[in-house]
Structure 1
Amino acid sequence: MLTRERRDAVYQMIEQEKSVLVKDLCERFDVTNETIRKDLIALEKEGRILRAYGGAYIIEGVKNEVHAELRASLYPEEKRQIGKACAGMIHSGDTIFLDESTTCQAIAKELKGLEDLTVFTNSGKVFAELKDQPNVRLVCLGGEYDRKNQSFVGRSAIDMLKEYYLDLGFLSCRGLDMQSGLTDGGERNGAVRRCLLSHAAKIVLAVDHTKLDLKKYYRISDFEPIDVMVIDRFKSKEQQKEWEEFLGRNQTRLIVTESRECDL
């Protein structure tokens, strides 16, 4: 296969799957990591894809779920700051929920100083982060394992969550829009998040700035159930002002973790 033909085929695979791992591309096209790396660099220069550590993705399309391995490599410092701010709301003895987002994985990394903490989750990554922590009673939702998102989903997961009421529920989403509310790239994880909204005394939405003003496939909720929104930053002062006014009308507390000025 000629280089141009292979690169077009690589793009078609990314366009269809929305995100792919380098190891899967190497296997599919029977080429080396270095060859795929060059293909992805070329496609990114053409403006057709975005690269991340270990793979590539596109943001187009409402039904779009980027592989968890790639999401984990995006904006790590911003997510660390969000995770630290969220962890500051948690107290010893609390019962909380952390969803499958990489932002909630960042929260899990900040829980080591707390005692007698009960953590519910549907995330394989959160489970791996907390499974050896003696201060945490870890409860994992059952259900079907979603390999792309590394989470447990489906009716069994939702039915189990419905049996409990929690002090704090932390969730993220793939899109955030003033009119459309919180939206997700797929219905299975979105349905777990929707269930959480009525099963915690306080709901905290933890998102990075890339989710703002986007609409995705599955509508989770409007902003009425959201008590606190934690975000790293806004893209402009104008955007921040609009969101501050909107969230104020919805009585949602806003926490911005970065102190630097917004881009002009």
Structure 2
Amino acid sequence: MNAIARKQYIIQKLQLEGYVDTNLLASELSVSSMTIRRDLNALSDDGLISLQHGGAVLNNGSLFEFNMTMKKADHMNEKMTIAKKCMDYIHEGDSIYLDAGTTVSCLALLLKETRNIIVMTHSLLVMNQLLDCKNLRVIMCPGEYRFDSQAVMGPLTDNFISQFKIDTLFLGTEGIDLKHGLTVPHIIDGTTKRATIKASKKIICMADNSKLDTSYYFSICPLSDINLIVTDHEADPTKLDTYMKANIPIITA
């Protein structure tokens, strides 16, 4: 098991149990206690956990956010399935906006065979996928770089986006909740997402099943502002039924 897989295991165990013991983790993962301590120190440096004598606890709450390295390793099969479904909503001649986030970046990977589409983004993950796509017109937004999102954002980005009218926005989010709508942990990320929504005719939210019935610190918009939510087939049918009964357009890939 590599370092990323170990860290993912540690986070999942913390989410279930609240505390992990260094020696027990070493035994479970068949590695040395020193290796586990290095993993815990790295997670602590990222702000995900707090170290305690002999172990660690999870930093949780409405401001909690995985960094992009952890997100890349999480629910990747589901994210790619969602991206493939979203290709049904992209047509020749469209202008589309690809938001920051690992799920949306999977969609960028699938665009390489398309033609006559304008793609706009503030995500470096997306831009890296499209660097060699000569058949697409790609517009990269300016702005202040945010490491955790691997994207630029902020007032410069928002003002730039406001100059355009986009056919379809493919939007990422950290939380989806009937009461609070779409939410994220950080204001600067949320305000840039608001700017993309305002500039777009149609908004499609891409979110794996772990995002459902979750809310964070900053509200992007109510669910009534979203034209469609695309999630994966692992989503709890009971949760999906709750959204459908509230007249929220949601489908599984």
TM-score range with shorter-chain normalisation? 0.7 to 0.9
- The answer to whether the 8 Å contact 2:169/2:204 transfers is yes
Q: Percent same amino acid among aligned pairs?
A: 26
What is the deviation of 1:107? 0.7
What is the deviation of 1:36? 5.8
Letter of the 1:150 partner, please give it: Q
Structure 2 match to 1:260: none
Please list, as runs of the form range in 1=range in 2, the aligned pairs for 1:1-264 lying within 5 A after superposition: 37-39=35-37, 58=58, 60-233=60-233, 235-246=235-246, 248=247, 252-257=248-253
Instruction: State the distance in 1 between where 2:199 and 2:73 align.
Output: 30
User: Quick one: structure 1 residues 118 and 179, their matched pair in 2 at CA, closer, same or farther if it must change by over 3 Å?
Assistant: same
TM-score normalised by structure 2 residue count: 0.77
- The answer to whether the 8 Å contact 1:98/1:119 transfers is yes
Instruction: State the distance in 2 between where 1:36 and 1:195 align.
Output: 46
Instruction: State the distance in 2 between where 1:57 and 1:160 align.
Output: 41
Look up the SS of the partner of 1:112 in the other structure.
Answer: helix
What is the deviation of 1:235? 4.5
Structure 2 match to 1:3: none
- The answer to whether the 8 Å contact 1:175/1:182 transfers is yes
- The answer to whether the 8 Å contact 1:144/1:153 transfers is yes
Letter of the 2:83 partner, please give it: G
1:191-238 Cα distance to aligned partner (Å, 9 max, x none)? 111111121111001101111111101110101210011001354332
Instruction: State the distance in 1 between where 2:189 and 2:123 align.
Output: 10
What is the deviation of 1:38? 2.3
What is the deviation of 1:99? 0.8
Which 5+ residue runs of structure 1 have no aligned equivalent? 1-10, 15-32, 50-55, 258-264
Which 5+ residue runs of structure 2 have no aligned equivalent? 1-10, 15-30, 42-47, 50-55
Letter of the 1:168 partner, please give it: T
Instruction: State the distance in 2 between where 1:150 and 1:98 align.
Output: 13
Instruction: State the distance in 2 between where 1:160 and 1:35 align.
Output: 49
- Which is worse superposed, 173-182 or 235-244? 235-244
Structure 2 match to 1:19: none
Letter of the 2:62 partner, please give it: V
TM-score normalised by structure 1 residue count: 0.74
1:135-170 Cα distance to aligned partner (Å, 9 max, x none)? 111111111000121100110000000000011001
Letter of the 1:231 partner, please give it: T
What is the deviation of 1:41? 7.8
Which is helix-richer, 1 or 2? 2
Instruction: State the distance in 1 between where 2:225 and 2:98 align.
Output: 16
What is the aligned-residue RMSD (CA, Å)?
A: 2.8
Instruction: State the distance in 2 between where 1:36 and 1:176 align.
Output: 38
Look up the SS of the partner of 2:89 in the other structure.
Answer: coil
User: Quick one: structure 1 residues 245 and 92, their matched pair in 2 at CA, closer, same or farther if it must change by over 3 Å?
Assistant: same
Instruction: State the distance in 2 between where 1:130 and 1:37 align.
Output: 37
User: Quick one: structure 1 residues 128 and 235, their matched pair in 2 at CA, closer, same or farther if it must change by over 3 Å?
Assistant: closer
Instruction: State the distance in 2 between where 1:74 and 1:240 align.
Output: 21
- The answer to whether the 8 Å contact 1:96/1:170 transfers is yes
Structure 1 match to 2:5: none
Instruction: State the distance in 2 between where 1:59 and 1:151 align.
Output: 24
1:89-125 Cα distance to aligned partner (Å, 9 max, x none)? 1012211101111010011011122111111111011
User: Quick one: structure 1 residues 254 and 59, their matched pair in 2 at CA, closer, same or farther if it must change by over 3 Å?
Assistant: farther
Instruction: State the distance in 2 between where 1:225 and 1:236 align.
Output: 23
- The answer to whether the 8 Å contact 2:122/2:153 transfers is yes
Structure 2 match to 1:25: none
